[in-house]
């Protein structure tokens, strides 16, 4: 079946450094991927998305990389700030049309000031 | 543009009771999805409604049900509550159905079952 997982459950990064959060997915037919950020006590917030016809997409301080060969997704945060401390989830849409997003279990990012 | 609104934000129930949670989507969004979030299982999909019709359903027992009204507002109900139902219940709205577009989440309803 479909599954979305993460390589590391927690990540501690020094303020100002770059952060890389990884995600593995099992469904090679998935064609849409999203990264969400969830701060304590809040609902998940959209960060960036990417479709399978792209390898890389950049936003403000964030970059998502998609490697379809090894079914790997990563989120890079440049110049990590204390406000980036949160749990980050990747999600994929699976292969069947109109199926819901499947979320990974999340990685907690802690920024050390 | 107002975001997704969920009520109540917090509630405490006892085993055997039932609970109803409400979600108002972003104006113009016709899709509403519900997710259960627990520390051990992450975000688990419950169901999705689009234009008052259930489009998708997750792997939850029949005690979990939902509906959507003509104004796109949605409710979910959990009957005969169990301790394991304690969780954050998240509602998300989208302009499109299924996993083809961005989901906009509310702040969630935190349910504690004693």
Longest dimension (CA), chain A: 44
How much is the mean pLDDT over chain A?
A: 88
Element (H, E) at A34: strand A32-38
> Shortest Cα distance from B59 to chain A (angstroms)?
12
**Is the pLDDT confidence value at A80 over 70?**
yes
Binary contact (B100, A45; C-beta < 8 A)? no
How much is the mean pLDDT over chain B?
A: 93
> What pLDDT, in 10s, does the model give residues B31-64?
999 999 987 778 999 999 999 999 989 999 999 9
| Cα(A50)–Cα(A45) distance, integer angstroms | 15
| A69 to A29, A44, A53, A66, A79: CA distances (angstroms) | 12, 28, 13, 9, 28
| Cα(B59)–Cα(B45) distance, integer angstroms | 8
Q: Which one, of B90, B38, B99, B96, lies nearest residue B66 by Cα?
A: B90
| Cα(B46)–Cα(B39) distance, integer angstroms | 16
**Range B80-109 average pLDDT:** 90
pLDDT score at B1: 63
Binary contact (A34, B48; C-beta < 8 A)? no
Considering only the beta carbons, identify the residue of B58, B90, B99 that sits closest to A43.
Answer: B90
Binary contact (A97, B42; C-beta < 8 A)? no
Structure tokens at B80: 């005969």
The pLDDT-based confidence of A79 (bands split at 50, 70, 90) is: very high
| Cα(A64)–Cα(A109) distance, integer angstroms | 16
In terms of CA atoms, which chain B residue is nearest residue A98?
Answer: B98
For B3, the 3-state DSSP assignment is coil
pLDDT score at A1: 33
> What pLDDT, in 10s, does the model give residues B87-98?
999 999 998 776
Q: How many residues does chain A have?
A: 113
> What pLDDT, in 10s, does the model give residues A14-25?
999 999 999 998
What is the DSSP code (8-state) at residue B52? T
CA atoms within 13 A on the CB side of A25: 30
Asked if A99 reaches chain B (Cβ–Cβ under 8 Å), the answer is yes
| Cα(A27)–Cα(A12) distance, integer angstroms | 29
What is the DSSP code (8-state) at residue B80? S
> What pLDDT, in 10s, does the model give residues A39-49?
988 999 999 99
Residue B102: its chain A contacts at CB < 8 A? 34, 46, 49
pLDDT score at B45: 94
| B38 to A6, B9, B42, B87, B90: CA distances (angstroms) | 16, 16, 5, 5, 11
């Amino acid at each position: 079946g479909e599954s979305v997982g993460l390589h590391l459950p927690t990540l501690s990064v020094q303020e100002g450094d770059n952060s890389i959060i990884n995600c593995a997915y099992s469904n090679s037919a998935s064609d849409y991927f999203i990264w969400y950020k969830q701060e304590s006590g809040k609902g998940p917030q959209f960060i960036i998305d990417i479709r399978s016809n792209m390898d890389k997409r950049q936003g403000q301080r964030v970059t998502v990389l998609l490697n379809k060969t090894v079914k790997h997704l990563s989120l890079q945060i440049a110049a990590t700030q204390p406000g980036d401390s949160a749990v980050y989830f990747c999600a994929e849409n699976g292969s069947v049309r109109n199926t819901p997003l499947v979320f990974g279990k999340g990685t907690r990012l802690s920024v050390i000031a | 543009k107002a975001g997704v609104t969920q009520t109540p934000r917090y509630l405490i129930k006892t085993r055997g009771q039932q609970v109803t949670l409400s979600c108002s989507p972003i104006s113009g969004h016709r899709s509403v999805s519900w997710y259960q979030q627990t520390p051990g299982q992450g975000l688990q999909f419950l169901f999705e409604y689009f234009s008052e019709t259930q489009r998708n359903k997750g792997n939850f027992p029949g005690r979990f049900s939902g509906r959507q009204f003509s104004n796109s507002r949605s409710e979910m109900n959990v009957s005969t509550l169990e301790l394991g139902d304690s969780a954050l219940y998240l509602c998300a709205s989208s302009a499109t159905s299924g996993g083809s577009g961005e989901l906009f989440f509310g702040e969630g309803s935190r349910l504690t079952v004693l």
